[in-house]
Structure formats: structure tokens, C-alpha cells
Amino acid sequence: MIGIIGALSEEVEMLINMAEDKKEAEISGISFITGKLHGKKCVVAQCGIGKVNAAVCAQTMILRYKPDAVINCGVAGALRRGLKTGDIVVARDVVQYDMDTTEFGDRPGLLNIGKESMVEIQCGRELAGALMQACSFLGIDNAVTGRIATGDRFISKPEARAQIHELFEADACEMEGGAIAQACRLNGTPFAILRSISDSMDENSAEDYFTFKMHAAQSAARIISAFFERLP
């Protein structure tokens, strides 16, 4: 079974509609939809916006459904000029840019995950590779691997995005992936993050987000569907 988590209804609705043999259960205020995509078992959940919602959803999903892997899909904002609206970023790793214990001499973004300390949480290589192959299968030529930066802020100002990019060398920012990654790391569950760029590095990023988020979310969902179609 593969778990799929998205923050917004737009990010999971298409996948839920495509699923067969659906059953729904509500746990901790979150609806978990089990079923099959292209004949393969899945569980899909809309976690809501932000790191706490995402972590609660991921932990609940892992404990209740014990997925073989978890994929976080949805939209993200570009942190560098080379990324355009509609481009795809498959995470190589993820950081939490708003974690700050530098007053104690720590590196920016340093996390304590169980007995481990790290800034970058590595994503599952095989999962990331399979998602990139799904992009190729669909003829998508604007997909790249990169670093995702997660934090509890919607970053609209170009200077703020540039600062995160400079500090963490990240390619895109969002508000859930790092928390899902942390929960998965704690539980030893492989995970991946797939994001479609909804807003670019310009002064109109907030307007871009509301204009393009539906298209970007559906693009990510199509890739997830192709990923399931190609599973053995």
C-alpha cells in the first residue's frame, strides 16, 4: 500500500475520484480514503495546511495503515529564477527553513529526529526515481530533482525567497513536506515529495498561486497516477 498526502482538496481530489473500491475513515479529524489506483492499494488523505497538520496526518496514516511508502504531492513556490509555473520538482531531500536554534550554535534548520540530528532529510531514491520515470512516461520534460524547503509561512516576497534559497540552496518552498518527511524518518517509512510550481520568483507570486494552483495540483496528481500505473 502506498500513502498519498496533500494539503489542499485540489491536490488529492483527482486521485480520490480515480480510486476504485473506496472506503473512508475519519481519524483525528482527517478523512483517510483507502482504495486502489490502477489496481494497486492506496490510502489518500488531505492533511490541511501547515507542518503540524501534515505531521499528525503522516503519523496517523503510518500507525493505522502501515503504508510501504508515503508520497506528499501538491504545489510549491519557486525559490530560484530558473523554475517556472508548471515545472515539476521531485525532492532529493527536504529542509525545514523555519527551525532555528542558531542561538545555541546550531546550523540553521537543524532537526532532532529520534536519536539523529540533521538539516537535510533524504528522500527515498527509488521512489524519487520512479516519480521521475512517471514524468518521462507522460512526456513531461520540465521535471527536475532538487531540494524542498518547508516552513509555516506563505512566502510571497522575492527577497524572502532569495534568502531561503541562499541559506539552504533550496529550489522550492511549501508548508508540509518537511514535517511529513520527519514523521516518516522517525518511523522508518520511505517517502517522496512531488511538487508542481504554482508561483514563480516575481512580484506577482501570490496572484500566480491563486491563478495556477488548480492546474499545478492536477499536474502533480497526473504524475502520481502514472506512478501507480507503472507499479508492478
Cell of 69: 511508502
Cα–Cα–Cα angle for 89, 48, 62, rounded to 5 degrees:
80
DSSP labels, 92-145 = EEEEETT---GGGTPPTT-EEETTEEESSEEPPHHHHHHHHHHHHHTT---EEE
Cell of 207: 496572484
Cα 196 versus chain centre, distance: 9
Active site residue 199: yes
Q: In what helix (H) or strand (E) does residue 7 lie, and over which residues does it extend?
A: none
State how far the Cα of 224 lies from the Cα of 215, in Å rounded to an integer. Answer: 14
Residue whose C-alpha is closest to residue 4's, from 51, 53, 73, 59: 73
**Which residues have CB under 8 Å from 189's CB, separation 6+?**
62, 67, 68, 69, 70, 183
The single residue of 10, 11, 120, 171 carrying the catalytic annotation is 11
Active site residue 11: yes
The single residue of 171, 176, 199, 208 carrying the catalytic annotation is 199
Count of CB atoms situated within 10 Å of the CB of 96? 25
Q: Just list the catalytic residues.
A: 11, 199
